[in-house]
Amino acid sequence: MLAVVQTRYGAPSELQVTPVARPVAAPGEVLVRVRAASVNPADWFIVTGRPLVLQLAMGRPAPRVPIRGSDVSGVVDSVGAGVTRFSPGDEVFGWGSGSFAEYLVTPQDNLVHLPSGIDLVAAAGIPMAGAVALQAMRDRGAVVAGQKVLINGAAGGIGSLAVQIAKSMGATVTAVCSGGSVDLVRSLGADRVVDYTEIDFTTEGVQYDLILDNAGTHALRDLQRSLTRHGMLIPNNGTVGGKVFGSIGRLARANLANMFTRQRLRTFMSSVRQQDLQDLAALLASGAVVPVVDRTYPLAEARAALDYIGQGHARGKVLLTV
């Protein structure tokens, strides 16, 4: 099979689309014939090896897992012994290590069935971004009906889903994005859309119960000014900071500031969990969440897809199709 292989850290141009051995489903695992894979900012960080601290986790002098990608949608090809949830031919989405390939093997708990009527390709953009958005709104933010929520970076993969999830929970949502994305974000249900090229929401004097900051474009103290007395700020941007430690410094400052205020500055590490995938599938099935796809690339053009993600201006998700 063909796969996108990384043999060293560097520019996306270093990636190779090359034949590798097709995996086999072990007990408890599912072999998926990949239909699409989401290209996440995390993939760009791993390819470039930036920030450098990332390499301590991923491996040196190259990532221990050579095939990039995690989010996936596709069709079950075969199942290992003990698999009870899936059968060959089932359409599924979820995650696994090495989804930038024609086939992916992953434990059955990493997958859920695709709801009827949902586009199989678009579903590949849901797992990672959807898990972050769901956990930020529901688990960390504990959003309840009537609360005022602001999503900064509302047109991106996480932001576009967070807007919809917050609305499904009954929040009044203000979405911040560029002028070119205003109509898109408004179509997702945002009650108010702010074009950041014209208005700085931190100077408006409006306060919110929850701010999810996917952009990292404002100082923490400015964001706090836009919170209610007991409001919550969730800083969630991995692109800010230096080449060595990345956003770790900003997150550390948030945790420190949290000790000296009634406001709550909450950082969190997200992971894609089985229950979250089921909940996201239910949101898709109900129509409360609609996947937003910026553009798709064939697997052979993975380098171009990574280059585009690295520019930081994607609206919704960028996908590789197989």
- How many Å apart are CA 223 and CA 273, to the nearest integer? 30
List, for residues 281-320, the tens digit of each pLDDT value.
999 999 999 999 999 999 999 999 999 999 988 999 999 9
pTM: 0.91
Q: How many independent structural domains does the chain possess?
A: 2
In a domain, 284, yes or no: no
Looking at the structure, do residues 136 and 119 belong to the same domain, yes or no?
no
Looking at the structure, do residues 142 and 106 belong to the same domain, yes or no?
no
Looking at the structure, do residues 134 and 25 belong to the same domain, yes or no?
no
pLDDT of residue 281: 98
In a domain, 278, yes or no: no
Cα 65–70–71 angle (5° rounding)?
A: 170
pLDDT of residue 245: 45
Looking at the structure, do residues 241 and 140 belong to the same domain, yes or no?
yes
Looking at the structure, do residues 216 and 302 belong to the same domain, yes or no?
no
CATH of the domain at 303: 3.90.180.10
In a domain, 285, yes or no: no
Looking at the structure, do residues 122 and 144 belong to the same domain, yes or no?
no
Blockwise average pLDDT, block size 10, the chain, 322 residues: 95 96 98 98 88 70 90 98 97 97 98 97 97 96 97 97 98 97 97 97 96 90 93 76 52 61 73 94 98 97 96 94 97
List, for residues 282-291, the tens digit of each pLDDT value.
999 999 999 9
Helices (H) and strands (E) in the chain, counts: 10, 15
Range of the domain at 50: 2-126+291-321
In a domain, 279, yes or no: no
In a domain, 282, yes or no: no
Looking at the structure, do residues 43 and 120 belong to the same domain, yes or no?
yes
Looking at the structure, do residues 147 and 177 belong to the same domain, yes or no?
yes
Looking at the structure, do residues 105 and 203 belong to the same domain, yes or no?
no
In a domain, 8, yes or no: yes
Looking at the structure, do residues 148 and 111 belong to the same domain, yes or no?
no
CATH of the domain at 200: 3.40.50.720
Would you say 43 and 69 are in contact if contact means Cβ atoms under 8 Å apart?
yes
